Amino acid sequence: MRKRLAVLLACALPLVLAPAPADAAGPPAVALSSVIPAPVEVRPGGPAFRLTARTVIVAPPSARPVADRLAEAVRAATGYRLAILKHAPRHASAITLAPGRTGGEGYRLSVGRKGVTIRSGGNAGLFNGVQTLRQLLPLEAPWTVAGGEIVDRPRFAYRGAFLDLARHFHTPAEIKQYIDEISQFKVNHLHLHLSDDQGWRIQIDSWPRLTAVGGAAGTGVDGVGGGFLTKADYRDLVRYAAARYVTIVPEIDMPGHVNAAQVAYPELTCDGVAPPPRTDTAVGYSSLCIGKEVTYRFVEDVIRELAELTPGPLIHIGGDEAHATSEADYIAFQQRVLPLVSKYGKTAYGWNEITQAPASHTAIAQYWNTGTTDPTLAAAVAAGTKVIMSPANLTYLDMKYDPSTRLGLSWAGYIEVRKAYDWDPGTHLAGVPESAVLGVEAPLWSETLRSIEDIEFMAFPRLAAIAELGWSPARDWESFRARLGAYGPRWTARGVGFYPSPQIDWAS
Ligand code: TNX
């Protein structure tokens, strides 16, 4: 395998992945051009840096949170516990985090003999520079980093991952593990699907049976599992994510996908009769009762409590597959609910169906259909709606890779790595120009997924492909394919059981 990769590097991609010049003693360093997602500018050259146990991290107090993440990452990779100092001692070997002119999430990373300097106008940018540096550290000593400079910034502001806690609950520990992995690819949002027909997974104090009943044991698909996030769990996740520059986006799905809420509170149905609990995977059969006032008391209470818990700007109100709601009722419902999100200081985010309602013009629509035209969405975009791209046939991480994949579904087709990578979020949809696209998100629905191992097998490597579409200015399959093959051993070293796609020459 290794030989094959070397040949590939030497012949096919000399400019992309040519190993950096060998350091005096030891193997070649990781090439600056091997990073995923591909940086905007890479200028290899100059002497390499050797990280040792005596290297120090230098950071102003304002950047201390990022320095802590860097120290953790270096310790996990090398075993060294590097000191964190405010000022560099003379002649010290140092990794320096410093203010810089590259603003926001962008950064500049320079590697020379005496150290590595990451500059950014903001901590999010410094954190992104740290993620780049992690990929430049070899997997084994000596810890040599190739000389040169990287200047980098994102193409899209929103780069999202998604977990479905409703079909099978995933624990806070598993969600944190996912955050650790996605943030290494500079993914900066995690959308949590917190309610559906099967279960309700977030504590709501004013409607306590939602979790007492909807989060009970046996509420996962096939009656397996159950559970919910308490408010304390959720706040802790928000903090954990924020420390990795990931914003949590909570979703409560409505007016469809509400069977679990109606089992707990029969007054949310039109006839007041509780439906049976459901643990099958059918969709489109439940609806809130659009004409009843209690519906809006319920929705407002839930939005208010979610908004209180969520420092991020977005609340996702679902809106997909409301096949049991008439079109007129659907629009009437959204016309009342969309303004409620603004009332609590948040921006409404919903699946593309919400664009049927005129009030969606100030909202964000998540495109999940499989085509390349959606006149309703295009009209909303013309009136101001912004879009996040999650076409199911390209970004749904719960789609099988091929017919033999043990996990996942196939209603939107099979998605091998190249298919997930080879499309352009800025031109994919007619009438949705790049200027209307906030970014991309890769949903991972959990009908067939129970464990973190299941999640990782479906997410990786495809999430890395979607992350690159969201971050990098250009797309180059052969380059991505080579960088991904070289990345595989990093997942293996962290115990991440990724799908070893036959489209990739995996290094061993
Ligand atoms: C469609 S995508 C759904 C979900 C399912 C998913 C499975 C969307 C907005 N709705 O209810 O879990 O397919 O792939």
Ligand 1 centroid–CA 103 distance in Å is 36
- Residue 324 has φ and ψ, to the nearest 5°, of -95, 10
Tell me the C-alpha to C-alpha distance, in Å, between residue 292 and each of 103, 259, 299, 332, 337. 49, 17, 12, 12, 13
Find tokens 């973190």 and name the residue. Answer: 452
How many C-beta neighbours within 10 Å does residue 308 have? 12
- The residue whose C-alpha atom lies closest to atom 7 belonging to ligand 1 is 445
Establish whether residue 158 lines the binding site of ligand 1, counting it when its CB lies within 6 angstroms of any ligand atom. no
Which one-letter amino acid corresponds to residue 64? R
In the chain the first and final C-alpha atoms are separated, in Å, by: 6
- Residue 296 has φ and ψ, to the nearest 5°, of -80, -25
Distance (Å, whole) CA 455 – CA 444:
8
**Ramachandran category for residue 126: left, alpha or beta (phi over 0 → left; psi -120 to 50 → alpha):** alpha
Distance (Å, whole) CA 2 – CA 370:
38
Helix (H, G, I), strand (E, B) or coil at 70: helix
Widest CA span of the chain, in angstroms?
Answer: 79
Ligand 1 centroid–CA 435 distance in Å is 27
Establish whether residue 284 lines the binding site of ligand 1, counting it when its CB lies within 6 angstroms of any ligand atom. no
Q: Which of 283, 393, 415 to mutate to test the pocket of ligand 1 (most atoms within 8 A of CB)?
A: 283
Ligand 1 centroid–CA 256 distance in Å is 12
Q: Which atom of ligand 1 is nearest to the CA of 366?
A: 9
Which one-letter amino acid corresponds to residue 230? T
Establish whether residue 73 lines the binding site of ligand 1, counting it when its CB lies within 6 angstroms of any ligand atom. no
- The residue whose C-alpha atom lies closest to atom 6 belonging to ligand 1 is 445
DSSP category for residue 249: E
How many C-beta neighbours within 10 Å does residue 280 have? 12
How many C-beta neighbours within 10 Å does residue 23 have? 18
Q: How many residues does the chain have?
A: 508
Establish whether residue 396 lines the binding site of ligand 1, counting it when its CB lies within 6 angstroms of any ligand atom. yes
- The residue whose C-alpha atom lies closest to atom 10 belonging to ligand 1 is 320
Q: Which of 164, 192, 320, 397 to mutate to test the pocket of ligand 1 (most atoms within 8 A of CB)?
A: 320
Q: Are 335 and 362 in contact (CB under 8 A)?
A: no
Find tokens 């789609």 and name the residue. Answer: 399
- The residue whose C-alpha atom lies closest to atom 5 belonging to ligand 1 is 445
Q: Which of 167, 399, 445, 462 to mutate to test the pocket of ligand 1 (most atoms within 8 A of CB)?
A: 445
pLDDT at 332: 98
Q: Which atom of ligand 1 is nearest to the CA of 320?
A: 9
- The residue whose C-alpha atom lies closest to atom 8 belonging to ligand 1 is 320
Annotated catalytic residue: which of 174, 267, 300, 321? 321
- The residue whose C-alpha atom lies closest to atom 11 belonging to ligand 1 is 283
Instruction: Give the distance from CA 68 to its chain's centroid.
Output: 22
Q: Are 57 and 71 in contact (CB under 8 A)?
A: yes
Reported as half-sphere exposure (CB side, CA atoms, 13 A), residue 497 has a value of 6
- Residue 131 has φ and ψ, to the nearest 5°, of -65, -35
Element (H, E) at 108: strand 107-112
| DSSP secondary structure letters along 155-182 | S-SEEEEEEETTTS---HHHHHHHHHHH
- Under 8 Å CB-to-CB from 293, ≥6 apart: which residues? none
Distance (Å, whole) CA 83 – CA 72:
11
Ligand 1 centroid–CA 259 distance in Å is 15
Establish whether residue 367 lines the binding site of ligand 1, counting it when its CB lies within 6 angstroms of any ligand atom. no
Q: Which atom of ligand 1 is nearest to the CA of 396?
A: 14
Q: Which atom of ligand 1 is nearest to the CA of 368?
A: 2
Establish whether residue 169 lines the binding site of ligand 1, counting it when its CB lies within 6 angstroms of any ligand atom. no
Q: Which atom of ligand 1 is nearest to the CA of 412?
A: 14
Q: Are 225 and 285 in contact (CB under 8 A)?
A: no
Helix (H, G, I), strand (E, B) or coil at 49: strand
DSSP category for residue 408: S
Cis peptide bond upstream of 37, omega within 30: yes
| Residues forming a β-bridge with 364 | 349, 386
Q: Is 321 a catalytic residue?
A: yes
Q: What is the dihedral sign for C-alpha 135, 248, 66, 473?
A: positive
Which one-letter amino acid corresponds to residue 484? L
pLDDT at 334: 98
pLDDT at 5: 36
Helix (H, G, I), strand (E, B) or coil at 268: helix
Q: Give the closest residue to 270 by CA, choosing from 229, 329, 321, 224.
A: 329
Establish whether residue 321 lines the binding site of ligand 1, counting it when its CB lies within 6 angstroms of any ligand atom. yes
Distance (Å, whole) CA 219 – CA 43:
53
Ligand 1 centroid–CA 258 distance in Å is 14
Distance (Å, whole) CA 506 – CA 484:
8
Nearest-5° Cα angle at 158, 321 to 353: 20
pLDDT at 257: 98
Ligand 1 centroid–CA 319 distance in Å is 11
Q: Which atom of ligand 1 is nearest to the CA of 443?
A: 2
Element (H, E) at 493: helix 477-494
Q: Give the closest residue to 194 by CA, choosing from 303, 352, 75.
A: 303
Residuewise pLDDT in 10s, the chain (508 residues): 333 333 333 333 334 455 555 445 566 799 999 999 999 999 999 999 999 999 999 999 999 999 999 999 999 999 999 999 999 898 889 999 999 998 899 999 999 999 999 999 999 999 999 999 999 999 999 999 999 999 999 999 999 999 999 999 999 999 999 999 999 999 999 999 999 999 999 999 999 999 999 999 999 999 999 999 999 999 999 999 999 999 999 999 999 999 999 999 999 999 999 999 999 999 999 999 999 999 999 999 999 999 999 999 999 999 999 999 999 999 999 999 999 999 999 999 999 999 999 999 999 999 999 999 999 999 999 999 999 999 999 999 999 999 999 999 999 999 999 999 999 999 999 999 999 999 999 999 999 999 999 999 999 999 999 999 999 999 999 999 999 999 999 999 999 999 999 999 999 9
Distance (Å, whole) CA 269 – CA 254:
13
Ligand 1 centroid–CA 93 distance in Å is 51
pLDDT at 26: 60
- The residue whose C-alpha atom lies closest to atom 12 belonging to ligand 1 is 445
